[in-house]
Structure 1
Amino acid sequence: MSTGAWVVVAAVALALGFGCYRALTDGRFRGTRAVAVEAAPASDATPPHAWDAVAAAVPDATLGEKATLVQFSSAFCAPCRATRRTLSEVAELVPGVEHLEVDAEHHLELVRRLGVLRTPTTLVLDGAGREITRATGAPRKEQVIAALGRAG
């Protein structure tokens, strides 16, 4: 085999490996990230909640009684549309759950503060506004329901 053929075989193998990795990890809910504290007094021992940052950026947003699904989307994102449908269905099925979609392009400061790296990203907040878990990519309905189980 020539060197060019080996390069093609290696490139295909790497692409397949990356594709399998993405297929396994997209939409899975993982641990949370602490919200960065901006100029908070040293005596303040309570950590900020993700909801505080969301409510400051999106004033008309409402916190769900049981949980809130905060979805970060962008205009030309096909998986974002599928995620919107899934999260809306779950919010209708599960009492006390709200779904809030945030346009990442128009809320860049919030995106940076919460550590959102790509769209769609879904944050699951508990009834008090604390981030329980997050998923990047389009989660399936059963994954969202399981994540809500962790919210209380």
Structure 2
Amino acid sequence: MSPLTAVFVLSGLCLIATALGLFWRLRQGRLVRNRSQQTPPWHPATTTADPVLGRLGRRATIVQMSTEVCAHCPSVRRSLTAISAADPDIAFVEIDVGSDLDTARRYGIRRTPTVLFFDAHGSQAGRVEGPATHSRYRELIDDLLHTAGIEVSRGGSHE
């Protein structure tokens, strides 16, 4: 192979790797809205295997699916805990899918962290696979509440 051909091949491989990396990065922390009603509502009557699943927030519930070996899960947990602490009507639940494989299968969890957003009635409104920033999570929950016709506030009275 000539040196010029080798340079072109290496350049092409670098461009392909860069494009794939950028595509992967764009998909990190992206909200996927639940457009179908295939996900069952999240109520204690339908999900008795895990008592934490019955803990719905008055306006919304944020569920983090994590594992012990997840590198990003602690920072995601801190962000989501802060969001729910600022608004008592938004519940935060963390589930270790390593010890609860049935829940992982039920909600189609393929990687951690995966964050699921549920409305006040227990229907899944969206999900984020992979880590996102605190401001991005706050923006997503505000958007989901707004889309559902729920007043968006940062704590205090909601009525």
TM-score by length of 2: 0.76
After TM superposition, list the pairs within 5 Å mapping 1:1-150 onto structure 2. Answer: 1=3, 3-32=5-34, 34=36, 48-51=40-43, 55-61=47-53, 62-149=55-142, 150=144
Larger mean Cα displacement after TM superposition, 71-80 or 4-13: 4-13
The one-letter amino acid of 1:23's match is: R
Amino acid at match of 1:14: I
Structure with larger Rg: 2
Q: Is the 8 A contact 1:67 1:96 kept in 2?
A: yes
1:109/1:35 CA distance change after superposition, 3 Å: farther
Greater RCO, CA 8 A, separation 6+: 1
Give the gaps of 5 or more residues in structure 2: 151-159
Give the superposition deviation at 1:51: 4.8
Shift of 1:52: 5.7
Cα–Cα, structure 1 residues 95 and 82, in superposed 2: closer, same or farther, change >3 Å? Answer: same
The alignment of Structure 1 onto Structure 2 pairs a total of residues equal to: 142
- Distance (Å, rounded) in 2 between the aligned partners of 1:57 and 1:35: 21
Aligned-pair identity in percent equals: 29
The CA RMSD measured in Å over matched residues stands at: 2.5
Shift of 1:145: 2.1
Aligned twin of 1:41 = none
Indicate if the aligned counterparts of 2:83 and 2:138 stay in contact, CA closer than 8 A: yes
Q: Unaligned 5+ residue runs, structure 1?
A: 37-46
User: What is the TM-score normalised by the length of structure 1?
Assistant: 0.79
